[in-house]
């Protein structure tokens, strides 16, 4: 059984026709994890017994002649900031090293009902704060294509697990590009849905107005199938909207001739490396050959997106992480003689350097005397950026850009320069600020085999057409 050619549909057919049991398929992927995870460090922890219990349930359904659910037997890994009842959820932090989830996230409930098998929890930048998965308290994940390069972040473990055939699909989270950028760096497909399309109940919060859960897989079709399952209104998430969820898979294969693709002028001066620009140009030619029209558009305020994003994201992170004080949540530091010292010792020992940096900056921009100058102003600029995108989508159907301005970079290359690290998200953060869907699809590679990704963005709740355009691009052949 060739792991790199499997799909969710093939697995379901194998089980239905008795060619392989769900438990046998599960074992194949667990063996691959045992073989590869020591080097790649994509998973922080995995529980074969837990996975086998789920697989055996699918096999009982098959033996009893019951119809199998859509994702029956699909081996998945879950980013370790999404709760699975009975399993540890560390968020890549020492602060939550011994935390065991007391309940399931909504997306986990939905995937379990659809027959997915959870192989383990994927590594991530601590509390999803990073672009390289080097900020994990348990060590970095490496890129499966070349182990001295990063896999991207913060969902680097999820992307690396799929790329290394340790799972067929994964869930990640995207606050500023944390699904799309690692998908690009690892050569897989990753999608951030519209904000409020997928419930955040059971997700450990980073930036509450920015976070979204989304799927990663080896192909657009599997991403579409998983997104269909996890989408929809959830009364336990106040930001979840009651919007109809289309059949994303049924929409794949529709004609794309005549569709208008917008190319933001401002993105063409954003320090894109030569090899990335070459591959994106080849990808755009592919769209022209498929009958799409290319139109340049303006996003006048996009140059302020990085600053706007990091003010808002850090403010929300500071607020969300205030609960980890050693009293209500998280570890407790060494006993001190008063409450203030206990707080200081706990948070100093529990948080890594990047998380501390973001908490301090977030607290600063929310502090008295600076709130209006930074946080309030950032929210106003966010509105201007949103208006820019709305105007652009009046002229075009989609916006296309590189997912990242560079190919994967070496481990340690940017860890001492946070601003340089933040710029690796320059093309992805706007979709989170505006709340629109975006997908990264493989778009060729460098001469030494490092993957490059193309990003496709659509307007709110337009996942159906975004997935169809991405599928058409994928089916048109490899970009060279």
Residue 247 lies in a domain: yes
Residues 6+ apart with CB under 8 A from 9: 221, 225
Instruction: Let me know if 79 is a catalytic residue.
Output: yes
What CATH number did the domain enclosing 25 receive? Answer: 3.90.1300.10
C-alpha span between 142 and 160 (Å, rounded) = 8
Q: For residue 353, is it within any domain?
A: no
- Separation between Cα atoms, residue 293 and residue 287, nearest integer Å: 8
pLDDT in tens, the chain (480 residues): 677 789 999 999 999 999 999 999 999 999 999 999 999 999 999 999 999 999 999 999 999 999 999 999 999 999 999 999 999 999 999 999 999 999 999 999 999 999 999 999 999 999 999 999 999 999 999 999 999 999 999 999 999 999 999 999 999 999 999 999 999 999 999 999 999 999 999 999 999 999 999 999 999 999 999 999 999 999 999 999 999 999 999 999 999 999 999 999 999 876 899 999 999 999 999 999 999 999 999 999 999 999 999 999 999 999 999 999 888 788 887 766 787 888 888 888 889 999 999 999 999 999 988 899 999 999 999 999 999 999 999 999 999 999 999 999 999 999 888 888 888 899 999 999 999 999 999 999 999 999 999 999 999 999 999 999 999 999 998 876
Residues in the chain, overall count? 480
The answer to whether 162 and 193 have CB atoms below 8 angstroms apart is no
Query: Can you tell me which residue has the tokens 């497909």?
Result: 189
DSSP state of 375: I
Q: Please state, in angstroms and as integers, the Cα–Cα distance from residue 135 to each residue in 89, 95, 138, 414, 452, following that order.
A: 16, 14, 9, 12, 22
- Number of folded domains in the chain? 1
User: Which residues are bridge partners to 88 per DSSP?
Assistant: 100
Strand order in the sheet with 169-174: 43-46, 117-122, 75-79, 169-174, 212-217, 189-192, 438-445, 451-457, 398-402, 260-264, 293-297
Asked if the structure places residue 91 within a domain, the reply is yes
Question: First CA to last CA across the chain, in angstroms?
Answer: 28
Instruction: Look at residue 32 and tell me if it is in a domain.
Output: yes
Active-site option among 12, 79, 121, 225: 79
Q: Is residue 118 part of a domain?
A: yes
Q: Among 93, 154, 318, 401, which one carries the catalytic annotation? A: 154
- Global confidence as pTM: 0.96
- The pairing of strands 117-122 and 43-46 is antiparallel
Residue 99 lies in a domain: yes
Q: Is residue 205 part of a domain?
A: yes
Range of the domain at 166: 3-251
The reply to whether 273 belongs to the active site is no
Could you give phi then psi for residue 190, rounded to 5 degrees?
Answer: -145, 135
Q: Give catalytic status of residue 154 as yes or no.
A: yes
Other CB atoms within 10 Å distance of the CB of residue 307: 14
> Annotated catalytic residue: which of 132, 155, 178, 196?
178
Domain assignment present for 155: yes
430: exposed, middle or buried (C-beta count within 10 Å: 0-12, 13-18, 19+)?
Answer: buried
CA distance 183 to 160: 8
């Amino acid at each position: 059984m060739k792991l790199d050619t499997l799909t969710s549909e093939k697995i379901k057919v194998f089980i239905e026709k008795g060619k392989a049991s769900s438990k046998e398929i599960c074992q194949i992927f667990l063996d691959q994890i045992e073989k590869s995870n020591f080097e790649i460090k994509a998973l922080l922890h995995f529980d074969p017994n837990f996975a086998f219990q789920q697989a055996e349930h699918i096999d009982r359904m098959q033996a009893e002649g019951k119809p199998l659910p859509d994702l029956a037997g699909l081996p998945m890994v879950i980013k370790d900031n999404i709760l699975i009842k009975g399993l540890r959820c560390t968020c890549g932090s020492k602060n939550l090293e011994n935390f065991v989830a007391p309940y399931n996230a909504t997306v986990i409930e939905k995937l379990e009902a659809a027959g997915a098998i959870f192989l383990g929890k994927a590594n991530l930048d601590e509390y999803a704060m990073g672009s390289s998965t080097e900020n994990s308290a348990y060590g970095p994940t490496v890129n499966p294509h070349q182990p001295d390069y990063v896999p991207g972040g913060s969902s680097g473990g999820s992307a690396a697990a799929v790329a290394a055939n340790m799972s067929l699909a994964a869930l990640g989270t995207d606050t500023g590009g944390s699904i799309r950028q690692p998908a690009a760096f690892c050569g897989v497909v990753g999608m951030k849905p519209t904000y409020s399309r997928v419930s955040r109940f059971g997700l450990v919060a980073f930036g509450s107005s920015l976070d979204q859960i989304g799927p990663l897989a080896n192909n657009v079709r599997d991403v579409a199938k998983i997104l269909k399952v996890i989408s929809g209104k959830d009364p336990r998430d106040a930001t979840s909207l009651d919007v109809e969820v289309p059949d994303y898979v049924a929409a794949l294969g529709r004609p794309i001739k005549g569709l208008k693709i917008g190319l933001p002028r401002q993105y063409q001066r954003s320090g894109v490396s030569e090899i990335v620009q070459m591959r994106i140009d080849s990808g755009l030619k592919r769209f022209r050959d498929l009958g799409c029209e290319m139109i340049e558009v303006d996003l006048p305020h996009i140059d302020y997106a990085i600053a706007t994003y990091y003010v808002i994201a850090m403010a929300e992170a500071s607020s969300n992480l205030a609960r980890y004080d050693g009293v209500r949540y998280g570890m407790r530091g060494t006993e001190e003689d008063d409450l203030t010292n206990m707080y200081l010792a706990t948070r100093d020992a529990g948080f890594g350097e990047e998380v501390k940096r973001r908490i301090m900056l977030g607290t600063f921009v929310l502090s008295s005397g600076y709130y209006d100058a930074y946080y309030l102003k950032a929210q106003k600029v966010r509105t201007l950026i949103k208006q820019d995108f709305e105007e652009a989508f009046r002229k075009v159907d989609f916006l296309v850009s590189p997912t990242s301005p560079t190919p994967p970079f070496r481990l340690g290359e940017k860890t001492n320069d946070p601003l340089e690290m933040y710029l690796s998200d320059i093309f992805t953060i706007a979709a989170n600020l505006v709340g629109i869907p975006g997908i990264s699809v493989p778009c060729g590679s460098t001469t030494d085999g490092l993957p490059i990704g193309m990003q496709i963005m659509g307007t709110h709740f337009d996942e159906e057409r975004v997935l169809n355009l991405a599928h058409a691009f994928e089916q048109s052949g490899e970009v060279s």
